[in-house]
Structure 1
Amino acid sequence: MSNEAVAILISGRGSNMISLVKQASGYRVALVASDKPEAAGLVWAAAHGLATWSLSPKGIGKAAYEARLDAALHEAGIGTIALAGYMRLLSDDFVARWRGRIVNIHPSLLPLYKGLDTHARAIEAGDAEAGCSVHVVTEELDGGKVLGQSRVPILPNDDADKLAARVLAAEHALYPRILSEFVMTPFDHVRDVALTLPETEELIGKSVFTVASEAFVKFDGDATMLVRSIEDDAAGSTKWVSIDLTGDIDWAAVEDRIARSWELTAPADLLEAGGR
């Protein structure tokens, strides 16, 4: 299982930071950093044994501040940055240096209502639903790829504060789950799917998954999966085919290929008993 070193950037109390720490799975919080040395979230993090870093940009400028932040992140061995109530806009240069490795949570159903006052804008528009989105951070404000969303109904008596409280509760559940999925290696994803299938066993150290002692998924290297596929419909024979798990992966299709390979490998009595 991945154990990605994550830094959480906060500017205040950091309620989403606390959720990310308490629900960490597949990642470890290696640093909590802030542009506000007085941030309450830093006190909580230190009290729970987490490494902290803080520096105010006042008097040194944005470039110098981000250079010091960047150095602290590298010193801590950070692989992924999670913004959690971090109110300072990151420069394009900083985002470029960490491209594809910064995520944020935004209190709207992106691409709706980028920026501020999202709850009031959703109510004013007469929307039936509001919610939150976890997305990859890019140079465009709230414009990166959406990784996951949670929807919250807008009730007839809602004002911005009431809606914000319910959306925040949804954020606390959504953000840790999506961050866990985001830091997963391709093998982690494949393992999670394969081990849900009946009577599957993992050959530890060999990156192979079996049913009834027969392999139905193999891993070649870091990002190539091998699964069984029909070679000849008439004969019913199978062959191994490779699937590249790099880039923008259609995990629904991958899951289907794994399940199909299991069906082609599982003994008849297991299939007759209900299969997967």
Structure 2
Amino acid sequence: MSSERKVTLGVLGSGRGTNFAAIRDAIAAGRLAASISVVISDREDAPILELAREGKIPTAVLRKGSFRTWLEPDIEEELAQCLRRFRVDLVVLAGFMRVLKGPLLAAYRGRILNIHPSLLPAFKGKEAWRQALEAGATEAGCTVHWVEPEVDSGPILGQARVPILSGDTPERLHARIQEAEHRLYPEVIQSVIDRKLWLGIHS
């Protein structure tokens, strides 16, 4: 991609930003041929924003809405406008705790990625690692997928398996799944770029 503009990523996160850090580090190490043009959060105190600022990456905070789990359409439209302003090609959800509905999915159709801490389609929703333990599963893992209107659905792009060990606690299992996430997410993003899936060829 030396003669082309690098694919630009817009990262959305609500928490600590560990997957953002993994993506940032993969770019710095030359393992991911992309750039991060903006990091956006729905929480002004989210640690992911401080991580971005430390790396001199532009940040934005979404306007507060009336709901905890999803964004009103006008706020989603503002989010889409922000992503366009920063010339974002691919939207990367990294611990973003809001369900996306119409405006953003329409604006970035086929260009929004998410990572979920289970081997989808198993254990959708919150605390998937705890769900796996409580169900007596023998393995857990993580999945990178395209985002579609139904939560934790959309075509799967890559998975990493994590065995569930005897005596595992939710905390220990979650920590190992996160380690797998940090390896898998940059690899899958690079695969999407290499295959030019971000151009919508898959849809």
Common fold: TM-score over 0.5:
yes
Instruction: Work out which of the residue numbers 93, 97, 120 in structure 1 matches 2:130.
Output: 120
Give me the whole-angstrom Cα distance separating, in 1, the residues matched to 2:171 and 2:193. 32
Q: Shift in Å at residue 97 of structure 1?
A: 2.1
Superposed CA deviations along residues 120-152 of structure 1, whole A, max 9, x for unmatched, are 221122211100000000011111011000001
CA deviations 1:72-100 (Å, max 9, x no partner) are 10010011000000001111332122111
TM-score, with length taken from structure 2: 0.88
Normalized per residue, which structure has more strand? Answer: 1
Coordinate RMSD, CA, aligned: 2.0
Separation in 2 of the partners of 1:65 and 1:173?
32
Aligned with 1:8 (options 11, 25, 31): 11
- Give the TM-score of the pair, scaled to structure 1: 0.65
CA distance in 2 between counterparts of 1:180 and 1:22 reads: 13
* 1:55 corresponds to which of 52, 62, 71: 62
* Cα separation, partners in 2 of 1:127 and 1:34, compared to 1, 3 Å: same
The residue matched to 2:126 in structure 1 has which SS?
coil
| Distance in 1, Cα, partners of 2:148 & 2:173 | 27
**Ranges in structure 2 where 5+ consecutive residues have no aligned partner:** none
Aligned length: 191
What is the identity percentage for the equivalent residue pairs of Structure 1 and Structure 2? Answer: 37
The code of the aligned residue for 1:112 comes to A
Equivalent residue letter for 2:48: G
Counterparts of 2:40 and 2:13, CA distance in 1: 6
Which of structure 1's runs of 4+ aligned residues deviate more than 4 A?
A: none
Aligned partners of 2:15 and 2:95 also within 8 Å = yes
**Whole-angstrom CA distance in 1 between matches of 2:130 and 2:66:** 35
Match of residue 79 from structure 1: 89
Residues 59 and 110 (structure 1), Cα distance of their counterparts in 2 relative to 1, 3 Å cut: closer
Equivalent residues of 1:108, 1:118 under 8 A apart:
yes
Verify the 8 A CA contact 2:117 2:129 in the aligned structure 1.
yes
Could you list the per-position Cα deviations for residues 192-238 of structure 1 after superposition, in whole angstroms to 9, with x for gaps in the alignment? xxxxxxxxxxxxxxxxxxxxxxxxxxxxxxx9xxxxxxxxxxxxxxx
Once the 2 structures are TM-superposed, how far is the Cα of residue 38 of structure 1 from its aligned partner?
Answer: 1.5
Higher relative contact order (CA 8 A, sep 6+): 2
User: Residue 35 of structure 1 corresponds to which residue in structure 2?
Assistant: 42
Q: Distance in 2 between matches of 1:170 and 1:90?
A: 25
The gaps in structure 1 that reach 5 residues or longer are 190-222, 224-245, 249-276
Of 56-65 and 93-102, the range deviating more from structure 2 = 56-65
